[in-house]
Structure 1
Amino acid sequence: MYIENRMGKIKISKDVIYKIVGKAAIATSGIAKMSSGIGEGLANWINGKSLENGIELKEAERGLDIRLSVVIQYRTKISAVLQELQNNVREAVAGFTGLSVGSINVIVEGISVK
């Protein structure tokens, strides 16, 4: 991801953005964990990229589009948790990187009863 200003270009690795998004998501009250398919989740865990599970990033004209797949905790109000998740991720990405965020789409893959 590139940020261009009058002094030049700044490149931010996607790995950094994955970590920012993952940390912001997990810190959101009501989110049990990030979710991905079993094959992808196992491969990311072996490669040490567990925070990338359930996160997709795409560069778009209006900013960075983010897609999250999550598992929420049982007995939480889904709409409130997901709205807080979107706000937390948007603030974290913009605050740490200066990148604008276009959209944050969330898919609830499951509910954790633990």
Structure 2
Amino acid sequence: MLIQQTLGHIQISDEVISKMVGKITSATREISSMSAGLVESISKIWSGRSLQNGIAIRRVDDRVEINVRVVMRYGSKVHEVCRELQHKVIEQVEHFTGLSIQAVNVIVEGITPDLASTK
């Protein structure tokens, strides 16, 4: 992302945004992991670029769209966790980068079993 200022240009790479989103996502207790797998292969074919740990960044004009693929822990309130993750990503990425986030799409690709309840 290129930001024009009177002092010059600021460029923020997709990798930096992906790392920020990854840290925010991994700090969410109800999310077991991020998922790339088959999606990563399709992304490489479509865009020629790789997903970074289940995170895809898409730029539209001066706005950014973020897709995050996750695996949730069993028993989590999926819709609440996803909504909270969306808010955190938008708030923190916009705050630290100054970019305008158009959307954060959370795709739940699986649920891990609750190992504590099987013992």
Provide the secondary structure at the position in 1 that maps to 2:65. strand
Q: Distance in 2 between matches of 1:63 and 1:29?
A: 29
Q: How many residues align?
A: 105
Q: Provide the identity percentage.
A: 45
1:49-101 superposed Cα distances (whole Å, 9 cap, x missing partner): xx921111011136100111100111010110000110111112111111110
Question: In structure 2, what is the Cα distance between the partners aligned to 1:5 and 1:39?
Answer: 36
- In structure 1, C-alpha distance between the alignment counterparts of 2:64 and 2:38, rounded to whole Å: 26
CA RMSD of aligned residues (A): 2.0
Residue equivalent to 2:101: 101
Greater relative CO (CA pairs within 8 A, separation 6+): 1
Report if the CA contact (8 A) 2:40-2:54 is conserved: no
Equivalent residues of 1:62, 1:102 under 8 A apart: no
Q: Does 1:79 align with 2:82?
A: no
Asked which structure has the greater CA Rg, the reply is 2
- Aligned position for 1:26: 26
**SS in structure 2 opposite 1:105?**
strand
- Give the Å deviation of 1:2: 1.1
In structure 1, stretches of 5+ residues that fail to align are 42-50
> Segments of 4+ in structure 1 off by > 2 A?
38-41
TM-score computed with the length of structure 2 as normaliser: 0.79
Alpha-carbon contact 1:68-1:104 (below 8 Å) kept: yes
**TM-score between both structures, scaled by the size of structure 1:** 0.83
Q: For the Cα contact (< 8 Å) 2:31–2:71, is it kept in 1?
A: yes
